[in-house]
């Protein structure tokens, strides 16, 4: 048993889609969430900047005595996972390798669409890791920066989300893909609109499911699960504005959360 909380972070609201899966699969676990909404989007930042931010956030989460950390951000996973694993003692999980495994299991025609931030698409990480597992799979990448902003603005259930999804996805659909990986944790918030645009023929992969599956296995294997029957109080912190973030957290995590702004530069 280990009753310490699990740290989860993202550049903003996107990681809440991963937190939601943690809450669903591990209802006894307590979460400390950090959304770096004062400094996002990460997708246009340099690797050095992202590593610097992630180091601060990791120190912040460790100051809350977390037993494990999920980098609930593809961009940050690609830029900083290896660096963080090397530097810190706490177990740290990323979302990209789980996403890659899900893609391999899903595609039949070996034509895969990747939607992500500009830096994730340009890094070629998903493409490389997928090719390493199956050299025949072709990956077509498309950066969708507006989908990050629309989600941060809490507009993912509007026409704006639908139109932006359509704008970004049209070319990918024409490539004959049978699988679309949501390579940015903000994008599952647009899922309904994305589904409407791509239709039933294309399978959507959300890396959050496999990520949380991996976390469950890890906690189980290392006897690190939290006791059942004790109260659960998730804590949410941000580096920027709290109001929209709270609305979204309440919506995604289905509750009434207190969102606290902190000065992350102190860590
Ligand atoms: N949610 C993030 C990801 O998974 C990044 C969004 C951003 O800040 O650009 O890549």
Tens-place pLDDT, residues 257-266: 999 999 999 9
Give kind and range of the element (H or E) at residue 201: none
Strands (E), the chain: 6-10, 31-35, 68-71, 92-93, 111-116, 138-143, 179-182, 203-205, 235-238, 259-261
Side-chain-side CA neighbours of residue 240 (13 Å): 15
**Fold equal for 6-94+209-266 and 96-207:** yes
Domain 96-207 grouped into CATH 3.30.70.20:
no
In the reported structure, the alpha carbon of residue 44 is separated from the centroid of ligand 1 by a whole-number distance in angstroms of: 9
Give CATH for domain 6-94+209-266: 3.40.50.1860
Beta bridge partners of 200: none
- 11-41 burial: b if 16+ Cβ within 10 Å, else e: bbbbbbbbbbbbbeebeebbbbbbbbbbbbb
So what's the pLDDT on residue 147? 98
Structural domain boundaries in the chain: 6-94+209-266, 96-207
Query: Has 144 been annotated as catalytic?
Result: no
In the reported structure, the alpha carbon of residue 223 is separated from the centroid of ligand 1 by a whole-number distance in angstroms of: 32
| Closest ligand 1 atom to 148 CA | 6
Tens-place pLDDT, residues 186-196: 999 999 999 99
- Among 8, 12, 57, 188, the mutation site with the greatest number of ligand 1 atoms within 8 A of its Cβ is 12
For 189, the 3-state DSSP assignment is: helix
In the reported structure, the alpha carbon of residue 74 is separated from the centroid of ligand 1 by a whole-number distance in angstroms of: 6
Residue 211: pLDDT band (50, 70, 90) is: very high
**What lines the ligand 1 site, CB under 6 Å?**
10-12, 14, 40-43, 73-75, 117, 120, 148, 184-186
So what's the pLDDT on residue 186? 98
Tens-place pLDDT, residues 125-180: 999 999 999 999 999 999 999 999 999 999 999 999 999 999 999 999 999 999 99
């Amino acid at each position: 048993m280990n009753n310490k909380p699990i740290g989860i972070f993202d550049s903003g609201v996107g990681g809440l889609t991963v937190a939601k899966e943690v809450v669903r699969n591990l209802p006894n676990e307590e979460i400390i969430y950090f959304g770096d909404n004062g400094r996002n989007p990460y997708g246009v930042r340099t690797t050095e900047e992202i590593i610097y931010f992630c180091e601060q956030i990791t120190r912040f989460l460790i100051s809350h005595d977390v037993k494990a950390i999920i980098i609930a951000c593809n961009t940050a996973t690609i830029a900083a996972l290896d660096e963080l694993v090397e530097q810190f003692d706490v177990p740290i999980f990323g979302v990209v390798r789980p996403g890659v495994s899900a893609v391999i299991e899903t595609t039949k025609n070996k034509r895969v669409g990747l939607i992500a931030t500009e830096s994730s698409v340009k890094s070629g990480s998903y493409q490389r890791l997928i090719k390493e597992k199956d050299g025949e799979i072709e990956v077509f990448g498309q950066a969708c920066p507006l989908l990050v902003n629309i989600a941060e603005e809490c507009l993912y259930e509007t026409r704006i989300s639908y139109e932006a999804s359509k704008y970004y996805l049209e070319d990918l659909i024409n490539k004959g893909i049978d699988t679309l990986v949501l390579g940015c944790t903000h994008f599952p918030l647009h899922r309904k609109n994305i589904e409407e645009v791509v239709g039933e023929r294309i399978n959507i992969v959300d890396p959050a499911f496999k990520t949380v599956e991996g976390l469950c296995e890890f906690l189980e294997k290392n006897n690190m699960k939290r006791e059942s029957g004790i109260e659960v109080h998730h804590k949410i912190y941000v580096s920027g504005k709290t109001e929209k973030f709270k609305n979204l957290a309440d919506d995604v995590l289905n509750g009434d959360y207190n969102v606290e702004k902190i000065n992350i530069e102190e860590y």
